[in-house]
Structure 1
Amino acid sequence: MKITLLRLKSSKFGGAEVYLSRLSEELKKRGIKFDIKYTSAPKFLSSWLKIIWYNLEVCLLKGNKFYFSLERVICPDIYRAGDGVHKTFLKIENKSKLNPLHFVYLYIEKRMFKNAKKIIAISNMVKRNIIEEYNVPSEKIEVIYNGIPLKEKVPFDELKKEFNINNEKILLYVGSGFKRKGVKEALDIVSKLKGNFKFFVVGKEKNIEWYKSYAKELNIENKVVFTGPRSDVDKFYSMADIFIFPTKYEPFGSVIIEALNFENVVFTTDMCGGGEILPEEWIIDDNIVNKIQELLNNNKKLDELKKKAKDISKNYSIEKNVDETIKVINEVIN
């Protein structure tokens, strides 16, 4: 049976969009027939109207199609909850109650989790959220962690020259949406560290000037580099030693595996699904400054943990992810 993959829009950025691209490549390699259905909604429509439009066009025309959805729709055969649970997200984020997008998402989400034959949660945290918020039976939900194309480090001499890096240790954050993903909290941590290091913040943010001002207020403007969005992120991972991701809510976060894969010691919160694959001591707590400071002071321990990070990443290839995903698809089809 041909699989129809659902996602509202095509993009080079965004976790679900990147995953869709990787999944598509793997399905091609395996000779599995599929197509991708994006929305035909006019671009001038607001987000909530686009979501309604998309639901109408895919659900009214479903027929005998098999839908593997990466988008919130009320008629999936399998739904991959890569965007987490919106009801949980709203409890964490202080969003306007008047925005109709939230009403639309909650309306669809409730019916989607009920109607899907199977749900793929990308972390145990997301599985718990689905069960808690919508009382979905546990056996209906499979946890399949994200996977990435595993790589080796790439040369980064150009970056060292561009940013005048000598022997400094490199701390790194990668991601857009600075508020939810904790860039302010990362700057607070960095402001309490001592030694010869630089902290690179890589990603798109419309309020970036506020974060630059905050770094100045903390008197660490000489330690922090805001690069904006970059197409050479692999070079930053390759150059970095420690990855800091103090997110308030992240269903998984492929940046976690990417950073591990390039031998970064990764620190994140217990609100990040990707934290489930990390050693417990790498979860951010009240002792986080001392943990990072010790690594900045102890090259031997830092090198040991960087090798450990690489070893962890080897369990999370895109090939393994797709193997597990195809197994679920076959269970539902057969």
Structure 2
Amino acid sequence: MKIYLLRQHKTPFGGAENYLSRLMTELKKNDVECEVIHSYAPKFLASWIKALFFSLQACFFKGDKFYFSLDRITCPDIYRAGDGVHKVFLKSKKHSFNLLNPVYCYLEKRCFNNARHIIANSHFIKKQIMETYAISSEKISVIHNGVPLPKAFDKVTCKAKLMDSFGLNPSLPVILYVGSGFERKGVNEMLHLLSKLTTPFHAFIVGKEKRMEDYLQLSASLEIADSVTFTGARRDVERFYQGSDIFLFPTRYEPFSNVVLEAMSYANAVITTAQNGASEVLEKRFVMGTPSDETILPFLETLLNDKSLRSSIQHENAQKATQLSIEHNVAQTLEVIHAHLH
């Protein structure tokens, strides 16, 4: 039976879109016929209208199609809740009136209730779905995200090349952040944490941000502008993973960020927050209580200074990432799909 994969937007930089592309590739390797459905909505429409339009579009043309949806629609067969629970996410945001918020809450309630089965990408999100919408545990499977494993590379050589391309000292330990949408993903908090470090370092902040100038000014006001490079969105992000030592991701809300797995697979020590479902695959010492948790600073200083410890953790993470590959994710996902195809 053919599977239809649904995602409203088509963008080269989104984590969900990258996952969709990887999922489709792996499904085809497994001889599963599939097709992606994106929105037909005109770009000039307001975002809340486009969200409603996509759900209406999908359900109007559904017929007997089997829908594996990565977006909130009211008629999925299987819904992968990669975007988390919007009603919970709103509690972490500053209050602002945006019609998209009640529309998302309307759609996700019906999505969770109408789906034959739900895939959560973390136990963190499964718990939120159950508590927020009274969905039974049996209706939800937890399948952690998966990423393609990189080909072999020499980290020392890659780091030297990366630092040389930016005219930087290759002996400095490198801290990396990757992600677009800086406010939710904690770049403000990250800069404040970096400003309190006493050990020399260089940080690369990779990602798209509309208010980039505000963050440049903040780094200047915190007197760390010379130690931080904002690169904008990059298509060669693997260069930064390969050449970095520590990945710091103090996000405010993340169902399960792919960047954590990507950083691990490229042999980085990884630190993130308890508000990130990906923290489930890390030891507690690498998990911050909140995005501004300064109790992480002594451990971060130790990582910057202790090259042997850093190297050991990097190796452990690279090994751990082999158990969190996209192939492993797809194998588990196929089990759920086959269980609900008929």
TM bracket (short chain): over 0.9
Indicate the residue corresponding to 1:130 in structure 2: 129
State the shift of 1:161 in Å. Answer: 2.0
Q: How does 1:158-307 map to 2 (within 5 A)?
A: 158-165=161-168, 166-285=170-289, 286-307=294-315
State the shift of 1:195 in Å. Answer: 2.4
**Separation in structure 2 between the aligned mates of residue 221 and residue 170 of structure 1, nearest angstrom:** 15
Indicate the residue corresponding to 1:317 in structure 2: 325
- Does structure 1 conserve the Cα–Cα contact (< 8 Å) formed by 2:190 and 2:250? yes
State the shift of 1:158 in Å. Answer: 4.1
Aligned residue for 2:53, secondary structure, equals helix
Indicate the residue corresponding to 2:101 in structure 1: 102
**Separation in structure 2 between the aligned mates of residue 149 and residue 177 of structure 1, nearest angstrom:** 24
**Separation in structure 2 between the aligned mates of residue 93 and residue 22 of structure 1, nearest angstrom:** 30
**What is the identity percentage for the equivalent residue pairs of Structure 1 and Structure 2?**
47
- Does structure 1 conserve the Cα–Cα contact (< 8 Å) formed by 2:205 and 2:228? yes
Indicate the residue corresponding to 2:336 in structure 1: 328
TM-score, length basis structure 1: 0.97
**Separation in structure 2 between the aligned mates of residue 158 and residue 208 of structure 1, nearest angstrom:** 26
State the shift of 1:300 in Å. Answer: 1.2
Higher alpha-carbon deviation: 194-203 or 146-155 = 146-155
State the shift of 1:156 in Å. Answer: 5.1
User: What is the number of residues matched between the two proteins?
Assistant: 333
**Separation in structure 1 between the aligned mates of residue 333 and residue 121 of structure 2, nearest angstrom:** 11
TM-score, length basis structure 2: 0.95
CA separation of 1:96/1:209 partners in 2, compared to 1, >3 Å: closer, same or farther? same
State the shift of 1:192 in Å. Answer: 1.2
State the shift of 1:2 in Å. Answer: 0.7
Aligned residue for 2:256, secondary structure, equals coil
- Write the deviation string for residues 183-219 of structure 1: whole angstroms up to 9, x where unpaired: 1111111111122310111111111111111111111
**Separation in structure 1 between the aligned mates of residue 13 and residue 306 of structure 2, nearest angstrom:** 36
State the shift of 1:256 in Å. Answer: 0.2
RMSD: 1.2
Indicate the residue corresponding to 1:71 in structure 2: 71
Q: How does 1:110-121 map to 2 (within 5 A)?
A: 110-121=109-120
**Separation in structure 2 between the aligned mates of residue 156 and residue 232 of structure 1, nearest angstrom:** 14
Q: How does 1:17-96 map to 2 (within 5 A)?
A: 17-96=17-96
Aligned residue for 1:11, secondary structure, equals coil
**Separation in structure 2 between the aligned mates of residue 63 and residue 17 of structure 1, nearest angstrom:** 25
Structure 1, gaps ≥5 residues long: none
**Separation in structure 1 between the aligned mates of residue 198 and residue 159 of structure 2, nearest angstrom:** 25
Higher alpha-carbon deviation: 274-283 or 305-314 = 305-314
Aligned residue for 2:225, secondary structure, equals coil
Runs of 4+ in 1 over 6 A off after TM superposition: none
- Does structure 1 conserve the Cα–Cα contact (< 8 Å) formed by 2:159 and 2:244? no
Structure 2, gaps ≥5 residues long: none
AA at the equivalent of 2:336:
V
**Separation in structure 1 between the aligned mates of residue 287 and residue 30 of structure 2, nearest angstrom:** 37
Aligned residue for 1:55, secondary structure, equals helix
AA at the equivalent of 1:87:
K
**Separation in structure 2 between the aligned mates of residue 140 and residue 153 of structure 1, nearest angstrom:** 41
**Separation in structure 1 between the aligned mates of residue 224 and residue 43 of structure 2, nearest angstrom:** 41
- Does structure 1 conserve the Cα–Cα contact (< 8 Å) formed by 2:8 and 2:71? yes
**Separation in structure 1 between the aligned mates of residue 171 and residue 83 of structure 2, nearest angstrom:** 39
Aligned residue for 2:288, secondary structure, equals coil
Aligned residue for 2:270, secondary structure, equals strand
Aligned residue for 2:324, secondary structure, equals coil
